[in-house]
Homo-oligomer: A and B are copies of this chain.
Amino acid sequence: MPRGITRSEVDPDLPLFARRLKAARLSSGLSQERLGVAAGVDEFSASARINQYERGKHTPDVLTAAHLAKALKVPLAYFWAAEDDLAKLILWYGQLNAKSRKTLLATADELSQQE
């Protein structure tokens, strides 16, 4: 379950940020309101604000987005990954320990030098 965020069924017509946020929240099992509160949003506006983000009505500032990312345990950059493959790569990077990250970086370095 924690490895399958991008497999969740989210409307592909939603704007990028909305789509990624909704996928990550559904994967976490939190309600919109509880996610907002967990991210430090005022309890009286949390429900409306997270809903507006997920429906693509509004976009939060980067600080709010960072709090959401932390609450959802995903790297901040995940919200703006345009391709699903890059989204997966970023999610997996976020789950690796320091040693595995080094290994992954080394692999990417080698591959990019081959081109």
Contacts and interface: CB of A to CB of B under 8 A. Distances in A.
A14 interface: no
Contacts of A61: 59
A102 B90 CA distance: 14
A111 to B, nearest CB: 4
B81 A95 contact: no
A53 to B, nearest CB: 12
A109 B93 CA distance: 9
- Max chain B Cβ within 10 angstroms of own Cβ: one of A3, A15, A62, A97: A62
Of the four ranges (under 10, 10 to 19, 20 to 34, 35 or more), the interface on chain A belongs to 35 or more
A86 B81 CA distance: 12
Contacts of A16: 62, 76
Contacts of A97: 115
A108 interface: yes
Contacts of A79: 77, 80
